[in-house]
Chains A and B, each alone.
Chain A
């Protein structure tokens, strides 16, 4: 479904991603792990289109999207969530989600008819809110939500675009154990209809969810395969997993 061929990104003096080749298969949860600074978020930004790649090719669902604009990739069914929460803070939860639904459902070059008259937008937004556990918070301003709720909305915005593949950049960042369990359950629910590329540091979550894992170190993929194989990989243990998994 998603294929990266020798993709690279270089910032002044730093090689962020180096010759990355990666395949995400339809229907799987593919985890991307690696130490801080390995280039995971850079790679997500290259896939979503907010950072242009210096070299390489990105194909998604039969299209070459290497040079496509971010919104064009969303239209093809490739959405992302952010590691640092990026929501419409002054909008209500419902308006946040309705906007994402609106973005997907046809043109917004409609200047006269009030959005409020479009019941279907809000019905769908409500159903996404239910999915991410925010049904009770529909009219809360996003900025006033608890951290875990904001993280849920962050993922909800991506899901509301009805993607075929969603890039989740550390969805559990900063969450307490209880919130984390809820997020893991959410990802587990949506995996039946959405392919997931998951960047995550929480190894418990990664090994519970992932069908396959790729390990990124210093901008290079050093291993890619089934969770058991990754766990057993000597190179991976040395570079990243270390005692965490052994313990």
Chain B
């Protein structure tokens, strides 16, 4: 808890430091990382705590992103309408997809969630009214009112940081609750959970819908951040990226999704924007193959740190 607060104090100070050196690019980049941290945290609820290997989480990010974008495109710019709409759309999508998918197990569950997400991907591709495969540029970010201009990078950063804090605190609370205990118990021993009287399917579906709703909020923030949304936000590669974040950061660890998002996006950025001269001399195009570096880090984590980077950190400090 102390460490979490310390991390948030650093994150609170970050835009001030960047403003001081007049580098707003990194404030905007950090906002993107934080939005992915929220999305990955929501996936961690399903995948890490719930033990449901969902390979279609991008569908819920996408549902939220498109719902919020369509609101803005139709002239309803208020975040107070657009963001709840995004959450409702993604929760509904999660309920529909989960209600069918959760009747299957193992590889079938992985495949059916992937299939549903790809269906959603092709669906938005065909929505010609909202840009189809070219995507939908937005005239502006959502409007929050309250004297807060989300067009300002620093304000936007603090808003997304608020939602990350809320997500992490919420995840922490929920996991201590009756519901959280049941979700973990189902992951640990599903048959026994049912045999002591727990309706496994209902709890899993509720968990799936909550995670979908939070992913939808992340989607809405993502669309506002880039003032643009396109079908790639629902592509299966995005689902894979979120999974990699969770696995890197720590499956079933509170900070797992956030750390994974930070490390993965940070690595990508460093590899592509800060080429190493000695490596570039041997392989001039290597930044284009940033995924190779990410893959190697991933391999190391899976082999040597089963609880991800968050697991390594908490073990070292004896927490």
Contacts and interface: CB of A to CB of B under 8 A. Distances in A.
A99 B176 contact: no
Interface string A91-126: 100010001101110011111111110100000000
Interface in A32-84: 48, 50, 69-71, 74-75, 79-80, 82
Interface in A129-160: 157-158, 160
B206 interface: yes
B177 A74 contact: no
A240 interface: no
B173 A112 contact: yes
Given A71-B197, A86-B189, A99 B181 contact: yes
A70 B194 contact: yes
A91 B185 contact: yes
Contacts of A110: 177-179
A88 interface: yes
Contact of A112 (B174, B182, B192, B193): B174
Interface centre among B179, B182, B185, B192 (most CB of A within 10 A): B192
A158 to B, nearest CB: 8
B204 to A, nearest CB: 12
B196 A157 contact: yes
A98 to B, nearest CB: 8
A70 B181 contact: no
B205 to A, nearest CB: 11
A90 interface: yes
Contacts of B174: 111-112
B252 to A, nearest CB: 11
B195 interface: yes
B266 interface: no
Interface residues of B, number: 24
A87 interface: yes
Given A71-B200, A86-B189, A111 B195 contact: no
B197 A90 contact: no
A182 B240 CA distance: 52
Contact of A108 (B182, B188, B189, B195): B182
A102 B181 CA distance: 10
A119 to B, nearest CB: 14
A214 interface: no
A161 interface: yes
A104 B197 contact: yes
B241 to A, nearest CB: 28
Nearest to A70: B194
Contacts of B181: 95, 99, 102, 108, 115
A99 B203 CA distance: 14
Nearest to A116: B176
Contact of B188 (A88, A102, A116, A161): A88
Contacts of A193: none
B198 interface: yes
A10 interface: no
Contacts of A87: 189, 192
A95 B188 CA distance: 13
Contacts of A109: 178-179, 206
B199 interface: yes
Interface in B67-124: none
A149 to B, nearest CB: 17
A189 interface: no
A99 B197 contact: no
A88 B185 contact: yes
A89 B188 contact: yes
Given A99-B196, A100-B196, A90 B188 contact: yes
B237 interface: no
Contacts of B188: 88-91
B198 A108 contact: yes
B191 interface: yes
Contacts of B179: 108-111
Interface centre among B174, B179, B197, B206 (most CB of A within 10 A): B197
B191 A86 contact: yes
Contact of B185 (A79, A99, A116): A99
Interface of B: 173-174, 176-182, 185, 188-189, 191-200, 203, 206
Given A110-B179, A111-B180, A157-B196, 5 more contacts: A71-B200, A82-B192, A86-B195, A111-B179, A115-B181
